[in-house]
């Protein structure tokens, strides 16, 4: 037995020793593998420097894990680095859409979307919209209105690496007054919903709007969005009338600031735009009916215009088929053209412009269709790209992490085949997408 005992001990010792050696070798190889795989070099034939507004040629971009480390024509290529050859492409920073609704999509029937679906119906497919958006080259979105904290769940799942999608700066509930664009209108007062006002983002008066801002932030909002004016795709009569008092708007922006957050305002109407700008919002969403004074105020306050000027095409061609009330279509006819002219005037006057599409009102993944209109109505192609990169990053307060190909920022990089500065529609097909150093799409391979 004793002999057997020794033998057994010896065998265990030997096995342990072998195991330990094997484990050490495994660790070394995993470490080596991780190092090799995490260092990448992009060879960029043409590269847009969106900060300077210039084009560079034959640049190398060194990426370590999720971060850009260096850039230049002659940087050292570390041994074992993975080379990504984009010498025949134009390389630019991942695009940013400052106005999306990733947890909604035109579903094909107005009343089904309003009454026959629950947030779970939307939540269960939202990851598909996130992926489509990323595949379209949009590596960051400011998502400005969602219910049931779906946007927070989506943002977190993407950040955890559970599902692919853009980085999300989330607003949670759109904050609106009773009967506003954020409420459900046009139906019998006996049609009631079980959720509380706070779970619908409906808030009236200074105390309630402040409480709603706190509620949104408590459960994860990165930014605050409220309805300064009426809307198009909702059944209230006016599209432009203010839906909060000046005091309520001031309170929303002030409360957001206390918590270190920016606010943005849905605003089509002239007076509502001016009120929201005076309240101190970071951006005006839609900005459809601008007059000279509104433009002047936006310039003075440094307020961004985030106008969804592609939307009109899709709504007018498709929404009647979805059973959308004629009243809404008529409102769109009124606003669509005026909005593009307002945008043109604002660009001419030098208002700061960002890129925001309202994707979700039209199908996700088609975000880049808006570039053509931004160029048609006054921006140069480089300015339109800056609106969707460096300006957008500035609006989000994320300039230190996204918006340009700069050492220290996330490696959010896309590439297109042709030159977007000569044909902006090139951005509608993005064959290469990297986010945080991970290649999600490379059709050029």
Q: Which residues here bind ligand ARG, judged by CB under 6 A? A: 231-234, 286, 308, 311-312, 315, 332, 335-336, 339, 358, 361
Largest separation between any pair of C-alpha atoms in the chain = 100
Residues recorded for the chain:
445
Token representation of residue 180: 């506003």
User: Which has the closest alpha carbon to 372: 400, 331, 340?
Assistant: 340
Output 164 or 231, the one with its CB closest to ligand ARG. Answer: 231
CB of 232 to ligand ARG, least distance (A): 4
Output 227 or 436, the one with its CB closest to ligand ARG. Answer: 227
Output 98 or 433, the one with its CB closest to ligand ARG. Answer: 98
CB of 73 to ligand ARG, least distance (A): 43
Output 169 or 232, the one with its CB closest to ligand ARG. Answer: 232
CB of 358 to ligand ARG, least distance (A): 5
CB of 24 to ligand ARG, least distance (A): 59
The enclosing H or E element of 167 equals strand 167-170
Looking at the DSSP bridge assignments, the partners of residue 44 are 59, 86
Output 139 or 288, the one with its CB closest to ligand ARG. Answer: 288
**Structural contact between residues 200 and 244, judged by C-beta atoms closer than 8 angstroms:** no
User: Which has the closest alpha carbon to 372: 343, 348, 350?
Assistant: 343
The enclosing H or E element of 247 equals helix 246-258
Output 315 or 393, the one with its CB closest to ligand ARG. Answer: 315
Output 234 or 406, the one with its CB closest to ligand ARG. Answer: 234
CB of 241 to ligand ARG, least distance (A): 12
C-alpha span between 193 and 189 (Å, rounded) = 10
- Count CB-CB contacts under 10 A for residue 184: 14
User: Which has the closest alpha carbon to 118: 103, 132, 133?
Assistant: 103
Sheet holding 167-170, edge to edge: 95-100, 138-143, 167-170
Could you tell me the end-to-end alpha-carbon distance of the chain, in angstroms, rounded to an integer? 65
CB of 287 to ligand ARG, least distance (A): 9
CB of 183 to ligand ARG, least distance (A): 13
CB of 145 to ligand ARG, least distance (A): 8
The DSSP call for residue 79 is: T
Output 106 or 403, the one with its CB closest to ligand ARG. Answer: 106
User: Which has the closest alpha carbon to 423: 365, 390, 384, 386?
Assistant: 384
**Structural contact between residues 196 and 143, judged by C-beta atoms closer than 8 angstroms:** no
């Amino acid at each position: 037995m004793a002999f057997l005992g020794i033998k057994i001990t010896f065998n265990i010792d030997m096995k342990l020793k072998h195991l330990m050696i094997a484990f050490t070798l495994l660790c070394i190889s995993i470490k080596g593998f991780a190092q090799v795989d995490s260092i990448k070099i992009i060879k960029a034939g043409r590269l847009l420097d969106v900060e300077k507004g210039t084009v560079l040629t034959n640049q190398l971009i060194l990426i370590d894990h999720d971060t850009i480390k260096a850039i230049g024509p002659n940087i050292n290529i570390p041994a074992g680095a993975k080379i990504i050859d984009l010498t025949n492409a134009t390389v630019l920073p991942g695009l940013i859409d400052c106005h999306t609704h990733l947890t909604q999509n035109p579903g094909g029937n107005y009343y089904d979307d309003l009454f026959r679906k629950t947030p779970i119906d939307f939540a269960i497919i939202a990851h598909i919209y996130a992926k489509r958006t990323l595949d379209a080259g949009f590596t960051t979105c400011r998502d400005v209105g969602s219910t049931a904290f779906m946007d927070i769940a989506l943002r977190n799942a993407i950040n955890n690496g559970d599902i692919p999608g853009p980085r999300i700066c989330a607003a949670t509930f759109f904050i609106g007054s009773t009967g506003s664009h954020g409420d459900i209108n046009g139906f019998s007062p006996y049609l009631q919903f079980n959720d509380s006002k706070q779970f619908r983002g409906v808030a009236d008066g200074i105390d309630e709007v402040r409480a709603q801002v706190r509620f949104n932030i408590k459960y994860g909002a990165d930014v605050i969005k409220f309805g300064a004016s009426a809307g198009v795709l909702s059944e209230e009569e006016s599209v432009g009338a203010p839906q909060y008092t000046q005091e309520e708007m001031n309170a929303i922006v002030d409360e957001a600031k206390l918590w270190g957050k920016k606010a943005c305002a849905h605003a089509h109407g002239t007076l509502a735009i001016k009120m929201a700008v005076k309240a101190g919002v970071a951006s005006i969403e839609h900005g459809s009916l601008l007059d000279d004074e509104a433009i002047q105020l936006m310039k003075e306050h440094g307020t961004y215009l985030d106008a969804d000027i592609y939307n009109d095409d899709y709504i007018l061609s498709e929404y009647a088929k979805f059973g959308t009330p004629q009243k809404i279509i008529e409102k769109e006819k009124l606003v669509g053209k005026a909005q593009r002219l307002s945008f043109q005037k604002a660009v001419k006057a030098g208002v700061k412009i960002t890129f925001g599409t309202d994707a979700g009102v039209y199908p996700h993944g088609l975000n880049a269709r808006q570039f053509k209109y931004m160029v048609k109505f006054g921006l140069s192609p480089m300015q339109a790209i800056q609106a969707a990169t460096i300006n957008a990053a500035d609006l989000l307060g994320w300039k230190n992490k996204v918006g340009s190909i700069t050492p220290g920022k996330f490696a959010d990089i896309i590439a297109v085949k042709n030159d977007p500065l000569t044909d902006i529609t090139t951005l509608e097909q993005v064959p290469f997408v990297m986010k945080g150093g991970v290649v999600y799409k490379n059709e050029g391979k």
